[in-house]
Amino acid sequence: MLKEFLTADVDVPETHPLYPLYLQLLAWEERHEELKREYAGKLGADKGISRDEARSILSMGPLDSDDDYMLVHTMQAQRLFMGRGRDPEGRITRIPGAKNVGSALRNLWLLSGQDNPYADWMLILSELELGDLIRNLQRAVSDARSEIKAMEDSGIFLSILRNRNPTKVSLGFRSPYGYMISKLVMEFDMFIRVVKTLTARNLITADRERVMINERARPMRASFDRILRNNNVLQVPAYASLTRADIKNPRSKDTKDRVLALAEIWPGLPAEVLDRSKLPNNAKPLRRAPLREALANEIKTADEGDLL
């Protein structure tokens, strides 16, 4: 009924028959704006909640925990977690540890939140690889346990070896990938315990024990190496600062050169990753406005102790 006046953006004359209806509209609009301000001021809280009560949510910090830990029973699993540094004399090869790998995954996770598609791609591959390693360890533990279980038919009941003083390792991780790595370490720890139980109970030889452990340790170390190499590439500031928008439509020659260089290192970026239809299971939510200057300070080198 008021369309002609609203479309023309003019007031209804006081003498017009629709003027009372126009006043009702103005009153409704004013009340509606007031309700919107009230709703925003109370951060969407339900009726009966005061503004001060509602805004107390702003003072809440993120969920955190300082008492997560794991109990490691075997030296092999502890070594897998700690890794082995470079020998100053060059006689012993460095072995990357799960702690540093967790740090590298966290760096990739942070880059994922900066809309870097290569970080998402590397996280997807890492999730698949680590998931396979965990499942393979679980199957190996199940197979080894079946040999112990078979002893019950002859009336011999065996328990799995455990350490009287296991090492307590605190888990103050700041990314979900730290806990994925911890899961892998603990599955390996259980595998070692079961295998050593077989050896101690004369069900397998010491040589067979070494073969079984090496069969599981080698693919984990190879996976750790790949994750660290991937992280090292994306720590280069020229590559770390690239976003999906840069890759889809480079706006300068410098950006185009960096996009081409990264495509040479990792050819075949999947289209579903580039358009975000496929993301890591633990993809970090995107920041509304990527801060490239802050990125260099946030993405750290995966050195010892940088996991937390």
pLDDT, tens only, 87-121: 777 777 778 889 899 999 999 999 999 999 999 99
Task: Enter the tokens of residue 182.
Answer: 């911890």
Query: 45: pLDDT confidence band, cut at 50, 70 and 90?
Result: confident
Q: Please provide the DSSP assignment of the chain as one string.
A: --HHHHHHT-PPPTTSTTHHHHHHHHHHHHHHHHHHHHHHHTTTPPTT--HHHHHGGGG------S--EEEE--HHHHHHHH-B---TTS-S--B--HHHHHHHHHHHHHHHTTT-HHHHHHHHHHHHHHHHHHHHHHHHHHHHHHHHHHGGGGT---PPP--SSPEEEE---SSHHHHHHHHHHHHHHHHHHHHHHHHHTTSS-HHHHHHHHHHHHHHHHHHHHHHHHHHHHHTSHHHHT--HHHHHS--SHHHHHHHHHHHHHS----HHHHTTSS--TTPPPPPSS--HHHHHHHS----TT---
222 Cα distance to chain centroid: 20
Percent of the chain beyond pLDDT 70?
A: 92
Give CA–CA dist 44/78, Å, rounded. Answer: 49
Query: What does the domain layout of the chain look like in residue ranges?
Result: 3-59, 69-298
The least confident of 6-20, 79-93, 233-247 is: 79-93
State pLDDT tens for residues 206-216. Answer: 999 999 999 99
* Residue in 216, 189, 174, 209 with CA at minimum distance from that of residue 74: 189
Higher-confidence position of 34 and 51: 34
